[in-house]
Copies of this chain bind each other. A is one copy, B any other.
Amino acid sequence: MKKIILLISLCLLAACHDSPKISKGKPKVKSAKYGIVIHGGAGYITKSGLSDSLQEAYHQKLEEAIKRGHLVLENGGTAMEAVQKSINILENSPLFNAGKGGVLNANGEVEMDASIMNGENKNAGAVAGVQRIKNPINLARDIMINSPHVMLSGTGAEAFAIDQGYDLLDKSYFITAKSQRALEAVQKRQSSKISKVDATFIQNRKFGTVGCVALDQDGNLAAGTSTGGMTNKKWGRIGDSPVIGAGTYANNETCAISATGHGEYFIRNVVAYDISAMMAYKGISLKQAAQQVIQKKLAALGGEGGIIGIDQKGNMVAEFNTPGMFRAQMNSKSEIKIEMFGKGVD
């Protein structure tokens, strides 16, 4: 009898020793209810404004990205990995404002931000103002895992990347004819007044940030966002994408959110976390919280954009107050939805 007690005690000790830092809310049984949502930016995306061939190109790339992340989940992989893999495909495509094809700052260079958050333990990583990292979302994840920090910026972040074995690319890799034309167009329209630049940006630009949220079979949530920022930006501007709570948030007890839009309003409204807080403190659904934040609170300040989200039960949402939003979602039954215009994706 004593031996049995000793054995049980030893097993318990071993279990305690090996337990992860925080595993609250992680079910041990694999769940059938997994799912994934991606976005490629919200803005003035209309049928008349996009040629058929361009619509087809966006459709194909969104399909490729959502299926890549879904495959990770289907095979029992983590939400974190699904988020990273889906975003990598969008970062590598010149169609979206992230990674290659990111918009150009006032110096004609890309300046990228990204962040990622793990809902299982609320760990997070973020990077701001990097110029030579092929996939900023990967660097955000490495900052989370391999540094004691959440957010690194600029050449310092690139020095960390070198420490981690990253190859720094030539800045020309990121530049496309499209992003050069966009910069020239904005600079031509630019008057000396800052407010005019801002107005031009708001009226003419798609907010082409990309993002992904996922729920895996272990019941863990994750969210990630990656962006090239805004055309003709100056002064080392940091938008909402690398700001945990504004552009990205994940918490197993509520939801995972990735935002896209006019970043300044998303920072001031703490948009991503606000949706989580409404669910936690008011007991409302993801859909209700997303509608209140995007259609009421954000709109009241004049903030334009949208979010994608997924909750612990696999409910998915894409909520935006702009004419369109590049988006796709896929559930555990492999039902897929890819949309660009109008409202009501969920």
Cβ contact of A277, chosen from B22, B117, B149, B274, cutoff 8 A: B274
Taken together, the copies of this chain in the complex come to: 2
In the complex, the answer to whether A148 meets B197 with C-beta atoms within 8 Å is yes
A249 CA to B264 CA, complexed, in Å = 14
In the complex, the answer to whether B268 meets A122 with C-beta atoms within 8 Å is yes
Q: Which residues in B have their C-beta under 8 angstroms from that of A195?
A: 148
In the complex, the answer to whether A237 meets B154 with C-beta atoms within 8 Å is no
Q: What is the minimal beta-carbon distance from A4 to any residue of chain B, in angstroms? A: 34
Q: Does A152 contact B (CB under 8 A)?
A: yes
A264 CA to B117 CA, complexed, in Å = 13
In the complex, the answer to whether A151 meets B245 with C-beta atoms within 8 Å is no
A270 CA to B272 CA, complexed, in Å = 10
In the complex, the answer to whether B148 meets A128 with C-beta atoms within 8 Å is no
Q: Which residues in B have their C-beta under 8 angstroms from that of A150?
A: 263-264, 267-268
In the complex, the answer to whether B270 meets A152 with C-beta atoms within 8 Å is no
Q: Does A129 contact B (CB under 8 A)?
A: yes
Q: Which residues in B have their C-beta under 8 angstroms from that of A243?
A: 151, 243-245
A341 CA to B151 CA, complexed, in Å = 31
In the complex, the answer to whether A149 meets B270 with C-beta atoms within 8 Å is no
Q: Does A123 contact B (CB under 8 A)?
A: yes
Q: What is the minimal beta-carbon distance from A328 to any residue of chain B, in angstroms? A: 28
Q: Using CB atoms, name the residue of chain B closest to A283.
A: B281
Which of A128, A234, A243, A249: most chain B CB closer than 10 A? A243
Q: Which residues of A contact B (CB under 8 A)?
A: 22, 117, 122-124, 128-129, 146-157, 159-160, 194-195, 197-198, 234-239, 243-246, 249, 263-264, 267-270, 273-274, 277-278, 281-282, 301
A-B contact pairs, 26 of them (CB 8 A): A22-B301, A122-B269, A123-B268, A129-B153, A147-B235, A148-B195, A149-B264, A150-B264, A151-B239, A151-B243, A152-B235, A152-B237, A153-B153, A153-B236, A153-B237, A153-B238, A155-B236, A156-B235, A156-B236, A159-B234, A243-B245, A244-B267, A244-B268, A244-B270, A270-B270, A277-B277
